[in-house]
């Protein structure tokens, strides 16, 4: 498909996101939410839907919903209720799901996202509207045996441990226009729930599940096209790729005179395409009606104020503060605040006396590289404590050690920890800052490389880097960089 053809159409995209809460017990009973338990052990008559049982709302679920509602600047309903959503599926023991329909707990919120240009690293911002947020219970889990695909399985088993685990469903406005925007919106939601401490937000483990609604229309047309839903995306990159594929598929179908039907499609990661799953149901198919076993919810002003006080500094607020107060670029602020624990570590390094820029560089580059190569390790696991990194940076900045020595020490500090100053002293790594000693070393290096000296003085000034490298090699990286460069400059340019 040509770019010209694509620019004749625009995509209209909205996300329905299910966020699994990290409460200790389920939404309507006291069963554990632990997923490491053997199948069908975290169950009881309530979550299995036995006759005559009565659900009781877990108050922490309501508090979590209000936290998110306040964080997205939504309207918290002072009066809301639960409803029964009817559908029949093997892993839904009651044959209905307790959810919220016409009176959700939160409406009319918004979420600011940031879009990074992959080439320039420039960051632009966009606000995405959030239609509603409501509470509901999760269904169970079907385990298809004999194959990793339903079509090839010999039989299916049901694990009801997940039944009744609390969910928040967050529905965006159709404000998204690309796969990149949708993926970033999902990532910002994950940051938000992690900062709030209500969910781990891991897509790969199903703690955050996103369904995409997407249609295309000719540019300039006000009416939406026919909406298609996409499921089965377990990563942010999959969200972006699935949307990009579906946009192209729909535009190509329209160009060929084919009708787009309202349906649910699945993303096949292995083949990088979507396939049809079923014709999409409408809300009338679910036959919603008020849940008779749960009373309506009333949220007081005192409750709202109490929860408001519990909110931490949120990702967007922290990014803005890093730019305004610390003078960091939008890109650096974004990287540092992606994980709240990383942000807190960075702030502790600054509190320990390190310069802001140096602290940012060490955290986003050297420490980030170590964490990326050791995915099982988090920043809270490393032995290098923030105050020790601040000490290491100070040793570099006051000339006690060179940057090279610091980087050589880093692997040991990350695993064993300890005071960088004490390690440097015990290993005799203090920088050589005696001008006479450095001058003698530099004289020898210049004398050993007359050809390089001649080329430098003939105009090849980049050879200064060669001489600096030789100095560091000769001194084992212990030469004071500033002083060594000063002396080297004087000697190279002394004809």
Distance CA 39, CA 162 (A): 9
Tell me phi and psi for residue 406, to 5 degrees: -60, -45
- pLDDT of 4 reads 46
Q: CB-based burial of residue 173 (10 Å sphere; 0-12 exposed, 13-18 middle, 19+ buried)?
A: middle
- Rounded mean pLDDT of the chain? 91
Q: What is the dihedral of CA 319, 324, 327, 332, to 10 degrees?
A: 10
Please state which of the four CATH numbers 1.10.10.410, 3.30.70.60, 3.40.50.2300, 3.30.70.20 is assigned to the domain occupying 435-492. 1.10.10.410
Strand 83-86: give its sheet, edge to edge.
Answer: 96-99, 83-86, 289-290
* Angle subtended at Cα 362 by Cα 237 and Cα 368, rounded to the nearest 5 degrees: 30
Q: What is the pLDDT of residues 17-36, one digit of tens each?
A: 999 999 999 999 999 999 88
Q: What is the pLDDT of residues 131-189, one digit of tens each?
A: 999 999 999 988 887 655 555 677 889 999 999 999 999 999 999 999 999 999 999 99
Distance CA 468, CA 91 (A): 68
- pLDDT of 6 reads 58
- pLDDT of 229 reads 94
pLDDT along the chain (495 residues), means of 10: 67 96 97 92 95 95 98 97 92 94 97 91 93 97 70 81 96 96 96 96 90 94 92 92 96 92 91 86 77 95 95 96 95 95 97 96 96 94 96 90 88 94 85 78 87 84 86 80 82 76
280: left (phi over 0), alpha (psi -120 to 50) or beta: beta
- Give pTM, 2 decimals: 0.86
Number of helices followed by number of strands (H, E) in the chain: 17, 16
Question: Measured between alpha carbons, how far is residue 495 from residues 148, 323, 468, 472, 484 in Å?
Answer: 75, 47, 19, 24, 19
Tokens 């679920």 found at: 61
Residue 278, strand partner residues = 264
Count of Cβ atoms closer than 10 Å to residue 41 Cβ: 12
Contact 5, 251 (CB under 8 A): yes
Per-domain boundaries in the chain: 3-306, 339-426, 435-492
Q: What is the pLDDT of residues 460-486, one digit of tens each?
A: 888 888 988 888 888 877 777 777 888
Distance CA 240, CA 260 (A): 21
Q: What is the pLDDT of residues 66-81, one digit of tens each?
A: 999 999 999 999 999 9
Contact 251, 202 (CB under 8 A): no
- pLDDT of 495 reads 59
Which among 290, 281, 30, 20 has a CA at the least distance from the CA of 135? Answer: 20
- pLDDT of 26 reads 97
């Amino acid at each position: 498909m040509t770019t010209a053809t694509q620019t004749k159409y625009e995509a209209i995209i909205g996300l329905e996101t299910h966020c699994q809460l990290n409460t200790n017990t389920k939404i309507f009973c006291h069963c554990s939410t632990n997923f490491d338990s053997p199948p069908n052990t975290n169950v009881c008559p309530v979550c299995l839907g036995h006759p005559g049982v009565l659900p009781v709302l877990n108050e922490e679920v309501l508090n979590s919903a209000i936290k998110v509602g306040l964080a997205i600047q939504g309207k918290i309903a002072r009066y809301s209720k639960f409803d029964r959503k009817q559908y029949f599926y093997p892993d839904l023991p009651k044959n209905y799901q307790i959810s919220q329909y016409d009176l959700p707990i939160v409406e009319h919120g918004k979420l600011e996202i940031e879009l990074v240009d992959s080439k320039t690293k420039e960051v632009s911002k966009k606000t995405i509207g959030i239609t509603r947020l409501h509470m509901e219970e999760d269904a169970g889990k079907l385990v298809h045996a004999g194959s990793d695909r339903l079509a090839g399985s010999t039989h299916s088993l049901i694990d009801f441990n997940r039944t009744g685990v609390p969910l928040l469903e967050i529905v965006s406005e159709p404000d998204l226009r690309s796969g990149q925007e949708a993926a970033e919106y999902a990532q910002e939601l994950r940051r938000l729930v992690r900062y709030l401490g209500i969910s781990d937000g891991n897509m790969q483990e199903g703690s955050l599940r996103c369904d995409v609604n997407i249609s295309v229309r000719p540019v300039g047309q006000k009416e939406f096209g026919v909406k298609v839903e996409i499921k089965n995306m377990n990563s942010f990159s999959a969200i972006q790729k699935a949307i990009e594929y579906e946009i192209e598929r729909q535009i190509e179908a329209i160009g060929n005179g084919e009708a787009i039907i309202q349906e649910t499609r699945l993303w096949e990661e292995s083949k990088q395409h979507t396939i049809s799953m079923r014709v999409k149901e409408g809300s009338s198919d679910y036959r919603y009606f008020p849940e008779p076993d749960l009373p309506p919810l009333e949220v007081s002003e005192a409750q709202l104020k109490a929860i408001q006080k519990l909110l931490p500094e949120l990702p967007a607020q922290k990014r803005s503060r890093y730019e305004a107060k610390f003078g960091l670029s939008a890109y650096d602020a974004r990287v540092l605040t992606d994980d709240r624990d990383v942000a807190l570590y960075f702030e502790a390094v600054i509190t320990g006396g390190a310069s802001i820029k140096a602290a940012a560089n060490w955290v986003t580059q050297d420490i980030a590289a170590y964490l990326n190569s050791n995915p099982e390790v988090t920043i809270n696991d490393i032995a290098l404590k923030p105050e020790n990194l601040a000490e290491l940076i100070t040793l570099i900045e006051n000339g006690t050690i060179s940057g090279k020595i610091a980087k050589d020490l880093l692997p040991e500090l990350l695993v064993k920890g300890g005071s960088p100053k004490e390690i440097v002293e015990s290993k005799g790594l203090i920088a050589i800052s005696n001008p006479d000693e450095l001058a003698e070393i530099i004289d020898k290096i210049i004398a050993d490389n007359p050809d390089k000296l001649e080329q430098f003085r003939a105009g090849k000034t980049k050879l200064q880097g060669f001489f600096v490298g030789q100095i560091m090699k000769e001194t084992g990286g212990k030469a004071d960089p500033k002083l060594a460069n000063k002396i080297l400059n004087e000697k190279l340019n002394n004809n």
